Structure 1
Amino acid sequence: MPTHAIQDAYPPEFAHCYGCGARNPHGHHLKSYLVGDETVARFTSDLRYSGGVPDHVYGGMIASLLDCHGAASAAAYAYQKEGRQVGDGSQPIRFVTASLKVDFKQPTPLGVELVIKGRLRSLEGRKAWVDLVLTAGELTCAVGEMLAIRLQDHAHSCPELTVPASSE
């Protein structure tokens, strides 16, 4: 397993995400890694993330994990396609979610390690399609499909906009 997570390369202005931002003191700090041709993250939900089925994770948490891992996966695959290393010191690559489809296959148990994996389906221009799977042990709990859009260099809020340089 690589020592640096994909999220570790996010610039400070993009490190505040509740799901994966290192600079969010209340967040989950999800860490995703590129391992061969797939991405992998691990997370254990505690009791405060209980869903409607006792002793199981609520669906919003599952979607959140897939969302953060999918966007990190898209960035990792873009680095890979460009022959770069995550966190190589040059302009960071960052993606945002345009679409996320989640299919809940089975209730997801609380208190056990969840493994989220991503595989690149396609990377065309600024668009990345990533297939996602969330498991608990041998149990496939959810699968997802994400369309992520690469932010333009120095974009801060919307993937289609670039923030003009400051006039100061």
Structure 2
Amino acid sequence: MSAQAIQDSYPPAFAHCYGCGANNQHGHHLKSYLVGNETVARFTPDLKYSGGVPDHVYGGMIASLLDCHGTASAAAYAYQKEGRQIGDGREPVRFVTASLKVDFKRPTPLGVELVVRGMLRSLDGRKAWIDLVLTAGELTCATGEMLAIRLPEPVDA
């Protein structure tokens, strides 16, 4: 497992995301890690994130977790492809969501730890395609497909 969460490599100007930004005091602070050939994040939603089915998570929360984990996964795979370490002191790798498709497989229970996994489908230039799975225990609650686009590195003046 990578020692540092992928999101911890984001510079302060990019650490304000509600889902994963360290600098957002009201956010979820999702942390994603590269573990072998997949990425993993763990999150236990608070009871206030109840959905239409009693005692279950609302769909927007699930999409948010997949979104933040997907872009972090894209960054991790880009680091890996370039032979770099996350947080290596060089310009950080950042991706944004171009497309996110979510398939809700079953209601996601509240009060349990959710695990989000990301797997690289392909990385071509600035485009990364990530397959995502969200589970609660042994139950697959949602799957997703993301197209993430790498932000260009800033040009020195």
TM-score range, shorter chain: over 0.9
Per the TM alignment, residue 2 of structure 1 is displaced from its structure 2 partner at its CA by 3.2
SS of the equivalent of 1:78 reads helix
Q: Tell me which residue corresponds to 1:159.
A: none
1:61-100 superposed matches below 5 A: 61-100=61-100
Report the equivalent of 2:123: 123
Q: Aligned AA for 1:13? A: A
Q: Cα deviation per residue 1:92-132 (whole Å; 9 max; x = unaligned)?
A: 10000000000000000001000000000000000000000
User: Percent identical across equivalent pairs?
Assistant: 83
Which letter does structure 1 place at the counterpart of 2:129?
W
User: How far apart are residue 3 of structure 1 and its match?
Assistant: 2.8
The structural deviation recorded for 1:153 is 0.9
Partner residue in 1 for 2:36: 36
**Aligned-partner residue type, residue 98 of structure 2:** A
Taking the aligned partners of 1:46 and 1:108, their CA distance within structure 2 comes to 13
Uncovered stretches (5+) of structure 1, i.e. residues with no partner = 155-161
1:30-70 deviation digits (Å, cap 9, x = unpaired): 00000000000000011110000000000000000000000
Any idea what SS the aligned residue of 1:117 has? strand
Q: Aligned to 2:100, what secondary structure does the other structure show? A: strand
Structure 1 stretches of 4+ with a deviation exceeding 6 A read none
Unaligned runs of 5+ in 2: none
CA distance in 1, matches of 2:88, 2:70: 21
TM-score (norm 1): 0.91
Amino acid at match of 2:103: D
Deviation at 1:134, TM superposition (A): 0.1
Counterparts of 2:120 and 2:44, CA distance in 1: 24
Query: Cα RMSD over matched residues?
Result: 1.2
In 2, distance between residues paired with 1:46 and 1:16?
20
Q: 3-state SS of the aligned residue for 1:60? A: helix
Q: How many residues align?
A: 157
The whole-number CA distance in structure 2 between the counterparts of 1:2 and 1:90 is 17
**Residue correspondence of structure 1 range 48-59 to structure 2 within 5 A:** 48-59=48-59
Paired with 2:114 and 2:33, the residues of 1 have a C-alpha distance of 15
